[in-house]
Structure 1
Amino acid sequence: MLPNSNGNYTGKVAFITGAASGIGRVTALAFAREGAAVVVADVSEQGNQETAHLIEELGGQAIAVRCDVTRSEDVKAALAKTVEAFGRLDFAFNNAGIEPRKPAPTAEYEEEEWNRIVDINLRGVFLCMKHEIPLILKQGGGAIVNTSSGAGVIGIKGSPAYTAAKHGVIGLTRSAALDYAAQNIRINVVCPGYIDTPMMGRFTGGTDEGRAKVIAQEPVGRMGKPEEIAAAVVWLCSDAAGFVIGHAMVIDGGQTVQ
Structure 2
Amino acid sequence: MRLNPFGGSHRTRQADAVVTGAGSGIGRAFAVELGRRGGRVICSDIDAERARETVELVSATGGKAFDAVCDVSKIDQVEALAATAEQWFGKTADVVVNNAGIGRGGEVIGDAPLDEWHQVLDINLWGVIHGCHVFAPRLRAAGTGAIVNVASAAAFGVAPRMAAYNVSKAGVLALSETLAAELSGTGVSVTALCPTAVKTNILQDVSIGDENISEWGDRLLRWTGRPPASIARTTLDAVDRGQLYVVPQIEAKLIWQSKRLLPEPYTRAAGLLERLVR
Distance 1:222 1:166 in 2: 20
CA distance in 1, matches of 2:98, 2:186: 20
- Provide the C-alpha distance between the structure 2 equivalents of 1:31 and 1:140, rounded to a whole number of angstroms: 21
C-alpha spacing 1:21/1:215, structure 2 compared with 1 (3 Å): closer
Which structure is higher in helix share? 2
Number of aligned positions between the proteins = 241
| 1:14 and 2:11 aligned | no
TM-score (norm 1): 0.86
- Give 1:232's aligned amino acid: T
Instruction: Sort the Cα spacing of 1:39 and 1:167 in 2 relative to 1 into closer, same or farther, 3 A.
Output: same
**What is the rounded CA distance, in whole Å, between the counterparts of 1:197 and 1:217 in structure 2?**
12
Distance 1:113 1:201, change over 3 A: closer
Q: In the superposition, relative to structure 1, how do residues 215 and 222 fare at CA in structure 2: closer, same or farther (>3 Å)? A: farther
Aligned to 1:76: 79
Structure 2 CA distance for partners of 1:25 and 1:133, relative to 1, 3 Å: same
**CA distance in structure 2 between the aligned counterparts of 1:249 and 1:155, rounded to whole angstroms:** 18
Q: Distance in 2 between matches of 1:169 and 1:54?
A: 28
Gaps of 5+ in 2: 1-10, 256-278
Please state how far the C-alpha of 1:256 moved relative to its aligned partner: 6.0
Shift of 1:119: 0.8
C-alpha distance in 2 between matches for 1:204 and 1:117: 12
Structure 1 position 59, deviation (Å): 2.4
Instruction: Quote the residue 1:27 is aligned against.
Output: 30
Which structure has the higher relative contact order (CA within 8 Å, separation 6+)?
2
Structure 1 alignment gaps of length 5 or more? 1-6
Which residue of 2 is the match for residue 99 of structure 1?
103
Q: CA deviation at 1:85?
A: 0.6
1:257 aligns with 2:254: yes
CA-atom RMSD, angstroms? 2.4
The residue correspondences of 1:159-170 to structure 2 (distance < 5 A) are 159-170=162-173
Q: 2:70 aligns with which of 67, 71, 81?
A: 67
TM, length-normalised to structure 2: 0.80
State the AA in 1 paired with 2:101: G
Matched, 1:150 2:153: yes
Q: What is the Cα deviation at residue 13 of structure 1?
A: 0.6
Question: d(CA) in 2 for partners of 1:153 and 1:203?
Answer: 22
Alignment of 1:108-257 (within 5 A): 108-202=111-205, 213-214=216-217, 221-238=223-240, 241-242=241-242, 244=243, 247-255=244-252, 257=254
Contact 2:13 2:37 in 1 (8 A): yes
- Tell me the CA shift for residue 255 of structure 1: 4.8
Shift of 1:227: 1.3
CA contact (8 A) 1:40 1:52 kept: yes
Q: Helix, strand or coil for the counterpart of 1:106? A: coil
Deviations 1:88-125 (A, max 9, x none): 2110110000011x411112121111010011100110
- Is the 8 Å Cα contact of residues 238 and 246 (structure 2) preserved in structure 1? no
Q: Which residue of 1 aligns with 2:60?
A: 57
Aligned-pair identity (%) = 27
Larger mean Cα displacement after TM superposition, 129-138 or 160-169: 129-138
After TM superposition, where is structure 1 displaced by more than 3 Å over at least 4 residues in a row? 200-205, 209-218
Q: Which amino acid letter does the alignment assign opposite residue 173 of structure 1?
A: S
Q: Is the Cα–Cα contact under 8 Å of residues 19 and 48 in structure 1 kept in the other structure?
A: yes
Retained in 1: the 8 A contact 2:95–2:145?
yes
Aligned-partner SS, 1:192? coil
Q: Is the Cα contact below 8 Å between 2:12 and 2:34 reproduced in 1? A: no
Conserved in 2, the CA contact under 8 Å of 1:215 and 1:222? no
